[in-house]
Structure 1
Amino acid sequence: MFIGNQQEGRMMMPIRLNKPKAARRLAVVLGLSTLMAATAQAEDFRMPAENTALHAQLPEAIRNRKVIRVVSTFGYAPQQFYGEDGVTPEGFSVDLARALGAVTGIQVEFTNASFDALIPGLDAGRFDMAIAAMSATAERGAKVNFVIYEKAGARLLVSGGNPKKINGLQDLCGLTVASLKGSLHNDVIEQVSAKCAALGKKPVRLDTYDNSDSVYQSLLTGRTDANYRDGSPLIYVAKMSEGRLEVVGPEYPDHPYGIAIAGENKDFAKVIAAALDVIIRSGTYQAILNKWGLGTLNVDSAVLTPIGSPASAFPQPPSPIGLAFGK
């Protein structure tokens, strides 16, 4: 676990953010001879001041603990990953969590977990919120509260040179796709596989892994042919790979990301939604997005979908299957 810097007093002091660096672990996975700098450029910006009204609205347990426990899936740059030392959390999700902590006047503590362990960890009360590039869907919304914070689109990652000539989901028939356990994108690949079978073609084989490094390694060694997921980490790792990996095909509309908060903690979810609106209005939110090369993925305001909200409350992007194969 890693605990963010303690912010003392009622006003947050200016924080100079160091230039983000790629994790050594990713460099090792990609077989790079040198550690490459991240594509994002450092920016100086002022963390927002504590909002005393929001601090007072926090659940008593969190105020007494003086820590917001944040769980994520580190190794998913530029959203969340470990810095050059291999232990310091970096990325958009980390800076966003720290900004939310600044507004509410509480430290943030980061824990790494596999993607499929995030919601169970929230349900068990081990964590207060998950910021992990998690798509906000009605199915997940039956278990957690969501605060929408970022737009998203999905892409395909393949080995350099695109040896299997993959130009879209329609070209995956008969191939092997790598993915993370518990990822929403697994459902898309299963639908692609069913469509392939309906067209008289070979289905898609789906291989799932615990972490992104294993996904990338499977592509580099030829065990799998493609990875389908949100585009920002794929574009990042392709740039890092010195041509060994590349992004192909169109961007498919995807569900936006949401901060997940346990269903029983509705009041805390309301505070986090209000805090997100504060940092959006202050300009801090856009500055953090820009820092990590995600500036076009901004939302205009926080949207809270409480647990059990109807499916109509969640954005419904066009079907990637329809876009790939036609109606």
Structure 2
Amino acid sequence: MKKIAVLTSGGDAPGMNTAIRAVVRRGIHKGLDVFGVVNGYKGLIEGDFTPMSLGSVGDIIHRGGTILKTSRCEEFKDTIVQQQAIQILRENEIEGLIVIGGDGSFRGARKLTELGFPTVGIPGSIDNDIAGTDYSIGFDTAVNTAVQAIDKIRDTAFSHERTYVIEVMGRGAGDIALWAGVCGGAESIIIPEADYDLEDVIDRIKQGHQRGKRHSIIVVAEGVGKGLQMGKEIQEKTGFETKVTILGHIQRGGSPSAYDRMMSSQMGALAVDLLMEGKKGVMVGVKSGQLTFTTFVEVEKGRHTIDLSIYELARSLSI
């Protein structure tokens, strides 16, 4: 193998640039020519390649987003388009592809492998919902961003004796809400993976008020419902002033945390090594603290499951 390419696909996540840097520098260290694909699968089918050098990935380790840009490409689901992409790769003498993204991105990578082109994936998603790994790039930074916001909102909640409902991202996964809620000392955490009763949340707010507590923080995952509606109902049933904050896409941006940088660097380097060893159709990941890899087929069979013992811990600590 002499030439490989790397692309980022789907939603951006802090640490993607760090992973790109690791892929490029590990590849060059191993004697490979490395190319970046601009704008994900869209750029792949358009042949939008750029040669990557040591200098091209200098000073990006601390930057959020992705220097290669990213997009969602519905037409790449077509087998004919996938075959065209492989033809373009081969015309450019590229022999392997590293895809940084989420489960949707890996479905495209799996198709390329099944059609005869070697691919390796790196999990990049703040939602941390990808099967086959305990951790995906961007999650730690997103949680830290949410915790910092909760800390700031709590100051105002205390000062004005208010209840705040804080809606965080995560699609259908509750990892960000759970971790941020525990680390931010939320009185209640609402996630898709656990049954919840809004009446129970309201009762906990009232019980806290009876013992002198005049402010509360409720963290809700976006996959459960609308924070605005919950806030309205809580205010109506408690009589306490309730505000709603939707953190939104600030959780996707920003400089990656030290942990995200470390994991992105290790995963990027391992992805290059696996390609050179002849591995294909696999995603690198972390299991029980150890770097490993899992086939795309296994990744598609399920999704990362949340640790509900942390949810029970949160309930016991927020009495």
Structure 2-normalised TM-score? 0.37
Larger helix percent:
2
Structure 1-normalised TM-score? 0.36
